[in-house]
């Protein structure tokens, strides 16, 4: 992933990593084999449809398709693409990692989230409350992501 040169980054507080360009993302996404039994998904704590969103990246459907596919189970793609330990989760189980480099799933996720932010984030519609309540135990990303479908389904969720 491209980075700020050391001489520049020592003078600012911006991110060191600059993120993928569109060309980088397309090249990396083209490495995915679209496995029938994708082990990478088993390694993801929120079970993102990884081959599904990567296929949409290959089709250059970044913000309409790929980011929506990720958000189906992960409400925090820009954060997870940056701070999740992919090397011990999804990427650790990528079949390509057995003989070489796994697909850079986190970097592709980050690219999709950043692309959406730069081109216009679609704020999900909030339906009328149904009056139902759901308790979600935990305050980590998995718990937060689990509470999102409740909200989009009209239920009120509370994290404990």
Applying CB under 6 A, which part among 9-17, 22-30, 34-42, 63-71 lies near ligand SF4?
Answer: 34-42
Give the Å distances, CA to CA, from 17 to 57, 85, 103, 125. 20, 16, 18, 32
Neighbours of 113 (CB within 10 A): 26
Does 25 interact with ligand SF4 (rule: CB under 6 A)?
A: no
Among 19, 38, 81, 106, binds ligand SF4 (CB under 6 A): 38
Does 108 interact with ligand SF4 (rule: CB under 6 A)?
A: no
CB of 105 vs ligand SF4, minimal distance in Å:
6
CB of 35 vs ligand SF4, minimal distance in Å:
3
What's the CA gap between 25 and 78, in Å, rounded? 15
CB of 103 vs ligand SF4, minimal distance in Å:
4
> Are the beta carbons of 4 and 16 closer than 8 angstroms?
yes
């Amino acid at each position: 992933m491209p980075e700020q040169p050391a001489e520049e980054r020592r003078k600012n507080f911006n991110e060191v990593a600059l993120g993928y360009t569109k060309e980088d993302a397309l090249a990396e996404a083209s490495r995915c084999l679209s496995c029938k039994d994708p082990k990478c998904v088993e390694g993801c704590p929120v079970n993102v449809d990884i081959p599904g969103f990567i296929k949409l990246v290959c089709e250059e459907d970044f913000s309409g398709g790929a980011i929506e596919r990720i958000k189906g189970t992960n409400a925090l793609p820009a954060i997870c693409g940056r701070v999740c330990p992919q090397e011990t989760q999804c990427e650790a189980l990528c079949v390509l990692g057995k003989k070489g480099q796994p697909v850079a799933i986190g970097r592709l996720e980050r690219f999709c989230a950043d692309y959406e932010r730069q081109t216009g984030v679609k704020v999900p519609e909030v339906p009328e409350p149904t009056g139902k309540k759901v308790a979600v135990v935990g305050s980590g990303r998995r718990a937060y992501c689990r509470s999102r479908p409740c909200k989009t389904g009209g239920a009120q969720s509370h994290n404990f």
